[in-house]
C-alpha cells in the first residue's frame, strides 16, 4: 500500500507533458467514403476475385461474378478508383467483359458493398507480388496447364494447384514476340491474363507470358496509352476550393507521373467535369501558382471561380501538350 502511494506521488510530480504521453491515446475515427475526398477505407474493405460481367462507361457502374460464390455483385466506380490494367494505370474502357480481376469494395451509407476503389487485373497482381504460375504438367491435346502459384523460388506458395485452360483465342508470348503452346516446358514460370467461364474458379487464358520481358512489353504499351489519354482528356481531380481568382484541385493517383512534370508558373487549362469525368464546359486558361503533393493551386480569372464547386470534379491539361 505504501509502495503504491509512493509511485502515485512520483507520477503526479512528473510534468504534465510526460503524464500525457503515458496516457492511452484516443482511437482514430475509422475512415469512410466522403464526397469530394479521395479516401480509401483500408480498415474496412473486401477484395474479391471475380469475372467482369458488364460496364457502363457513362454511369461508371457495372457488375461482376464473385468466383468463390457465383454471386453477381453490382458496383459503382468512385472517381478516384485505381483501374490497374496490364500491370499499369488504365481506365474502364480498357477492361474486357469476362476478364478476371480483383474488385475492391466498400460499404455505402446503406451498408451495401458497392463502392469500388480499384479493379486490379491478374497481370498487375502477379507482377506487383512477384508471383508466377510454375508449370507442373501440360497437356497439348487439351491445351491444359497445371501449375503451382508461388513466388519465383517457391518459398511462398499461394495455391498448390491452379488449372489454366487455353483455346484457339489464347496468345502466347516469349521475348515479347508471338510463341505457341509447344514452347511451354515443365518448370517454366508463367504469368497470364485470363477470363472466366460463367461459373466457379475456372479460367481460360487470353494471354500467356512465358517470360517477364513479354509482360513488361504489354505494360509499357498500356503506360503509353494511359499517358496519351491524360494528355488528351486531362488529369482528373477533386476541386478543394474556388475563390478569389484561384482554384485548388487535388489530382488523383492515376495522374502521378504527369503531375510530377508540373512546376509553378506552368500554363494549364482547367474545366469542371461531371460524374463520367468528362468536361462539362470549355477549359479555362490558368497558371500553376503552387503545388503541395497532389494538390495544385491554379490562378484563373476571378470570373471563372463560379464554374468550379468544392467536392466536384475537374480536368486539367498542361498547356502545349
The 10s digit of each residue's pLDDT in 139-194 is 999 999 999 999 999 999 999 999 999 999 999 999 999 999 999 999 999 999 99
Left, alpha or beta for 245 (phi > 0: left; psi -120 to 50: alpha)?
Answer: left
Q: pLDDT band at residue 3, thresholds of 50, 70 and 90?
A: low
- Output the average pLDDT for the chain: 93
pLDDT at 13: 56
pLDDT at res. 73: 98
- Per-residue pLDDT band for 31 (boundaries 50, 70, 90) equals confident
Residue 295 reports pLDDT greater than 80: yes
The residue with cell 511462398 is: 156
Where are the extended beta strands (E) located within the chain?
46-56, 61-66, 72-85, 88-89, 100-107, 113-121, 131-139, 144-151, 157-165, 171-174, 177-179, 189-195, 204-209, 235-243, 246-251, 267-273, 284-292, 295-299, 313-318
Query: CA-to-CA distance for 85 and 226, rounded, in angstroms?
Result: 10
- Can you give the pLDDT at residue 9? 53
Categorize the per-residue pLDDT at 75 as very low, low, confident or very high, splitting at 50, 70 and 90: very high
Note whether 88 and 48 are within 8 A (CB): no
Smallest CA-to-CA distance from 197 within 102, 295, 97 is with 97
The more confidently predicted of residues 17 and 314 is 314
Instruction: Decide which of 3 and 100 is more confident.
Output: 100
With contact defined as beta carbons under 8 Å apart, do 176 and 212 qualify? no
Helices 212-233 and 122-129 cross at an angle (nearest 10°) of 120
Helices (H), the chain: 2-13, 16-22, 122-129, 212-233, 256-259
pLDDT in tens, 205-259: 999 999 999 999 999 999 999 999 999 999 999 999 999 999 999 999 999 999 9
Cell numbers of 187, please?
518448370
Q: Which domains does the chain have, with CATH numbers?
A: 130-215 (2.40.50.320), 234-318 (2.40.30.20)
Instruction: Report the C-alpha gap between 174 and 183 in whole angstroms.
Output: 9
Q: Report pLDDT digits (tens) over 107-133.
A: 999 999 999 999 999 999 999 999 999
Percentage of the residues of the chain whose pLDDT score is greater than 70: 92
* Range from 23-27, 67-71, 102-106 carrying the lowest mean pLDDT: 23-27
Higher pLDDT pick, 3 / 223 = 223
Amino acid at each position: 500500500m505504501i509502495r503504491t502511494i509512493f509511485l502515485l506521488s512520483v507520477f503526479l510530480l512528473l510534468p504534465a507533458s510526460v503524464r500525457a504521453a503515458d496516457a492511452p491515446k484516443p482511437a482514430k475515427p475509422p475512415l469512410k467514403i466522403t464526397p469530394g475526398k479521395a479516401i480509401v477505407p483500408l480498415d474496412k474493405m473486401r477484395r474479391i476475385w471475380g469475372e467482369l460481367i458488364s460496364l457502363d462507361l457513362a454511369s461508371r457502374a457495372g457488375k461482376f461474378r464473385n468466383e468463390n460464390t457465383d454471386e453477381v455483385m453490382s458496383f459503382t466506380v468512385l472517381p478516384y478508383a485505381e483501374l490497374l490494367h496490364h500491370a499499369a494505370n488504365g481506365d474502364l474502357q480498357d477492361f474486357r467483359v469476362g476478364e478476371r480481376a480483383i474488385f475492391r469494395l466498400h460499404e455505402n451509407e446503406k451498408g451495401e458493398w458497392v463502392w469500388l476503389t480499384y479493379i486490379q487485373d491478374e497481370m498487375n497482381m502477379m507482377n506487383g507480388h512477384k508471383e508466377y504460375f510454375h508449370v507442373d504438367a501440360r497437356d497439348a491435346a487439351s491445351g491444359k496447364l497445371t501449375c503451382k502459384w508461388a513466388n519465383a523460388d517457391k518459398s511462398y506458395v499461394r495455391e498448390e494447384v491452379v488449372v489454366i485452360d487455353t483455346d484457339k483465342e489464347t496468345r502466347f508470348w516469349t521475348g515479347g514476340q508471338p510463341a505457341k503452346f509447344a514452347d511451354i516446358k515443365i518448370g517454366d514460370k508463367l504469368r497470364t491474363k485470363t477470363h472466366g467461364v460463367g461459373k466457379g474458379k475456372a479460367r481460360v487464358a487470353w494471354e500467356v507470358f512465358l517470360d517477364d520481358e513479354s509482360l513488361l512489353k504489354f505494360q509499357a504499351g498500356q503506360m503509353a496509352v494511359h499517358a496519351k489519354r491524360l494528355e488528351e482528356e486531362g488529369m482528373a481531380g477533386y476541386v478543394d476550393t474556388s475563390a478569389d481568382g484561384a482554384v485548388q484541385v487535388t489530382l488523383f493517383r492515376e495522374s502521378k507521373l504527369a503531375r510530377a512534370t508540373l512546376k509553378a508558373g506552368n500554363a494549364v487549362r482547367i474545366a469542371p467535369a461531371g460524374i463520367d469525368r468528362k468536361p462539362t464546359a470549355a477549359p479555362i486558361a490558368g497558371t500553376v501558382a503552387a503545388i503541395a503533393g497532389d494538390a495544385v493551386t491554379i490562378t484563373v480569372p476571378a470570373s471563372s471561380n463560379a464554374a468550379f464547386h468544392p467536392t466536384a470534379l475537374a480536368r486539367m491539361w498542361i498547356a502545349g501538350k
